[in-house]
Structure 1
Amino acid sequence: MKKLLITSLIVITAHFTLAQKSIGISYLGLGSNDAIHLTSLAGAASYSGESYYGVQLDYLAPINQVLSFETGIGYRHHELLQHPNVPPNMDTAPNDVNASILTIPVGVRVNFLKYLFINPGLILNADLGSSGNVSGQTGVGFNLGVGLQYEFASGLGVYVNPYTAMHSTLSLSSENYPERITESGLKIGVTFKIK
Structure 2
Amino acid sequence: MKRHIATILFMLINILFLNGQQTITKPEESKIGLYFSPYGDNNIFRSKVLIEAPTYEVNKSFSVGLNHIDDINNWLKTETGIEYSQHEIITYTNRTHEDNHYQTSNLSVISLPVALQAVFLKYIFVNSGIFLGFDFSNNASIDSQTGIGALFGLGIKYDFNFKISLSINPYAKTYSLIPFTTNRSQQHIRENGIRFGVAYTL
> Residue 52 of structure 2 aligns to a residue in which SS?
coil
Quote the residue 1:26 is aligned against: 35
Structure 1 position 91, deviation (Å): 9.3
Quote the residue 1:179 is aligned against: 187
How many percent of aligned residue pairs carry the same amino acid?
29
Instruction: Please tell me the residue identity of whatever aligns with 1:190.
Output: V
Q: Which runs of 5+ in 2 are unaligned?
A: 1-26
> Residue 153 of structure 1 aligns to a residue in which SS?
coil
> Residue 120 of structure 1 aligns to a residue in which SS?
strand
CA distance in 1, matches of 2:138, 2:176: 15
Q: 1:115 aligns with which of 123, 138, 149?
A: 123
Q: 1:94-105 alignment to 2 at 5 Å?
A: 94-105=102-113
Structure 1 position 163, deviation (Å): 0.5
Question: Is residue 2:154 matched to residue 1:150?
Answer: no
TM score, norm. by length of structure 2: 0.81
RMSD: 1.9
Structure 1 position 84, deviation (Å): 1.9
- Contact conserved, 1:106 with 1:121, CA < 8 A, in 2? yes
CA distance in 1, matches of 2:106, 2:62: 12
- Contact conserved, 1:97 with 1:134, CA < 8 A, in 2? no
TM score, norm. by length of structure 1: 0.84
CA distance in 1, matches of 2:60, 2:178: 23
- Contact conserved, 1:85 with 1:92, CA < 8 A, in 2? no
CA distance in 1, matches of 2:183, 2:141: 12
Structure 1 position 132, deviation (Å): 3.6
Q: After TM superposition, what 4+ stretches of structure 1 lie above 4 angstroms from structure 2?
A: none
CA distance in 2, matches of 1:78, 1:111: 31
Q: 1:182 to 1:99 in 2, by over 3 A?
A: same
Quote the residue 2:78 is aligned against: 69
CA distance in 2, matches of 1:110, 1:28: 21
Structure 1 position 92, deviation (Å): 6.1
CA distance in 2, matches of 1:85, 1:94: 8
Q: 1:50-69 alignment to 2 at 5 Å?
A: 50-69=59-78
Quote the residue 2:47 is aligned against: 38
Quote the residue 1:166 is aligned against: 174
CA distance in 2, matches of 1:156, 1:130: 38
- Contact conserved, 2:135 with 2:146, CA < 8 A, in 1? yes
**Structure showing greater Rg:** 1
Cα deviation 1:123-161 (Å, max 9, x = unaligned): 110111142421111100011110010000111000000
CA distance in 2, matches of 1:57, 1:124: 15
Q: 1:103 to 1:132 in 2, by over 3 A?
A: closer
